[in-house]
Amino acid sequence: MSEIQKHQATNMILTTDLQQAVQVIKGAIQRSQARSLQHVNNEVLSLYYGIGQYISENTRHHFWGTGALKTISDQLQKEMPGLTGFGETSLKNMRTFYEEWSEYVNRQPAVDELPIDETELLVQIRQPLGDELNWTDFLRVPFTHHVIILRKVKDLEERAFYIHMCASRAWNKYALEDFIKQDLYKNRGSLPSNFTETISDTRLAIRTLKAFKENYLLNFINAEDLYENEEERNEPVLTSKIVENIRDFILRFGNDFIFIQPYYRMVIGGEEKFIDLLFFNRQLNCLVAVELKDCRFKPAHLGQLSFYLSVLDEQVRKPHENPSVGLILCREMDRTVVELAIRDYNKPMGVATFRLGEDAPDVYNRILPNTNGLNELMQDTDLS
């Protein structure tokens, strides 16, 4: 090896090491920033809660005269030039913040006491009505978001939902307003997914959520028809059975889905890759890749599906179509594991489970028609 080659190799190793160092330092900085922001947000919420209580006690009991908040706000501006966030409307919002949440706070200071010292008042809050509100989430949400939620949402459980979504999905206030306007709470479905984070159009995100279910009953397939015992589980056999009964599958999947092809072939870097089932959804105007996993969900499944979606968008998607959507269809899953694994991906994906005929509770088998009944229903129904 020449001296130049040795020098290049050494630089390559250094570059790799330095890049790793950059990532380590970057991660440390980001964690520190997150902790700092969290501490700041705790202080801000404590301050605003305390001011809100002070204002509430003095305005609701008529200790102050009419127009007091405007007078206070104007004087604050004079005594603290450049101060922002303490206009008359903001002071009223602080009062609302206190009044709406005071029921769930243990400490009730005296009327003339402002609970805004270095202690974080909101750490002393108690859980209202079981697990309806996660206070860790509560303290992570900015005051502006709290104001929007309090102004536009009245039900406690619904408020808790939007607080959790803001905390876990890092929504900005515009995304929060859009999802409240589109009533995401009532239209969210049960499928664990990252649709609300990866689909920028709020209405499309909600339509995508509604297009999928958390569990699909494939009672037109029996395990005994696939293999003799559980150890013989494999996706190719399951895929073949679904393709043989594709009409029945679409009845469960949804009428807006158009089946394109099983084992859809893509060539990337001279290597072949195959999507188990490829559909097109007319309402969503996008390709839908379904990966079958005849096993328990594993986080690695998402990496494979995300890669397939990237290839579809690059090689197959038409200019007028929306980005492709992916679905992992597996035997079972832990919802917490799915939500933790899926949130860092930038491709829209969801995870659902399926049950075969003999897996379904008897009540479902009694209610749902069998394969022959579904075929008769299809023949009798005018789909035009």
Dihedral sign for Cα 117, 119, 122, 126, please: negative
Nearest to 191 by CA among 53, 333, 1: 333
Residue 8: the pLDDT is: 47
Nearest to 348 by CA among 211, 249, 240: 211
Q: In 105-264, which residue ranges form alpha helices assigned H by DSSP?
A: 135-140, 143-152, 156-169, 173-181, 184-187, 195-198, 202-211, 223-226, 235-244, 246-253
Residue ranges per domain, the chain?
38-189, 215-380
Nearest to 205 by CA among 340, 322, 353, 336: 322
For 149-174, the pLDDT digits (tens) are: 999 999 988 999 899 889 887 888 99
Is residue 263 left, alpha or beta, with left meaning phi > 0 and alpha meaning psi from -120 to 50? Answer: left
Phi, psi of 185 (to 5 degrees): -55, -45
Cβ-based neighbour number of residue 177 at 10 Å: 16
Distance CA 162, CA 157 (A): 9
Residue 223: the pLDDT is: 66
Residue 121: the pLDDT is: 41
Q: Which residues of the chain have pLDDT under 50?
A: 4, 6-14, 107-131, 363-369, 371, 374, 377-378, 380-384
Beta strands 257-268 and 271-281: pairing type? antiparallel
Cβ-based neighbour number of residue 49 at 10 Å: 23
Instruction: Go through the chain and tell me how many residues it has.
Output: 384
For 262-316, the pLDDT digits (tens) are: 999 999 888 899 999 999 999 999 999 999 999 999 999 999 999 999 999 999 9
Give the architecture (CATH level 2) of 215-380: 3-Layer(aba) Sandwich (3.40)
